[in-house]
Amino acid sequence: MGRIEKAFEKPAFIGYMVAGDPDIERSKTVASAIIGGGADIIEIGIPFTDPVADGPVIQRADTRALSAGAVPSSAFEITRDIRRYSDVPVVIFTYINPIIKAGFDSFYAGAKESGADAVLIVDMPFEEADEAQAAAGKHGLDQIFLVSITTSEERMKKIAEKASGFVYLISALGTTGQRDQIPQEALELVAKAKKIFDIPVVVGFGISGPGNARRLIDSGADGVVVGSAIVSAIEDNMDSAEGIGDSIRKLVNEIKSGIDS
């Protein structure tokens, strides 16, 4: 059984971070805190100059990381550091430009060598995924795909033929960011996806507390992704690496407890 498959033996908490935010060394502290708080899977985002799917919180994190000198391979450096102390599954989260620049085979080889388990390309349509899938298959990585509330059932079925690891459901239209309520459309999307996909279904975009995380699990989701709330905890504690770690561990533990309750 692979690490990702094992992570979904119970409802999974997936924590997102930006590689190099606020700098490389402190982002290693962030990763450790996410894992220490109880995360079942960690997504490590490669900072990008034009993150069109991300809201202002993660955009600022990308800017901080890039200003501190982060590059695409920084995500691999953090993954290698995680592998010194944890077997938690790692998903490399990226826009497609860094992969094109590196070359698909080189990028996926680097991800595998670092200890990653999967790659998620946020702006890659599944119709254009052949090179990514070939590289993923060659290097033994899962290729994660996104599905939104506007994705048709027919399109979902086509994505289901290619996806592995888990499928990532986008809970709301627009960019990432914390939201107070889970839209009814998100719950309906979970129900639809569960009928189509034979791999775990997780939900992201806007999940910030134990209540809405629990609601999604109760609706049938196999896991939830929390990103902006974690990144906000970094932003609120920039003057203290210890404060960053403590704040993130507390946040992750609180939401994880809601999922497990």
CB 207 within 8 A of CB 232: no
Q: Which one of 21, 43, 62, 117 is the catalytic residue?
A: 43
Q: Which residues does the chain have with pLDDT short of 70?
A: 53, 172-181
pLDDT of residue 55: 81
pLDDT of residue 175: 41
Q: Indicate if 113 belongs to the active site.
A: no
Residue 32: closest CA among 252, 230, 245: 245
Distant-in-sequence, close-in-space partners of 142: CB < 8 Å, separation ≥ 6: 2, 4, 117, 118, 119, 136, 164, 165, 166
User: Domain count of the chain?
Assistant: 1
- CATH of residue 55's domain is 3.20.20.70
Domain around 203 = 3-260
pLDDT of residue 179: 44
Distances (CA, A) of 26 to 93, 187, 252: 19, 36, 17
Distances (CA, A) of 76 to 20, 22, 63, 90, 211: 11, 16, 19, 10, 33
pLDDT of residue 1: 76
pLDDT of residue 239: 87
pLDDT of residue 25: 95
CB 20 within 8 A of CB 70: yes
Q: Indicate if 25 belongs to the active site.
A: no
Q: Which one of 54, 62, 142, 222 is the catalytic residue?
A: 54
Q: Residue type for 205, please?
A: F
pLDDT of residue 42: 98
pLDDT of residue 206: 76
pLDDT of residue 177: 39
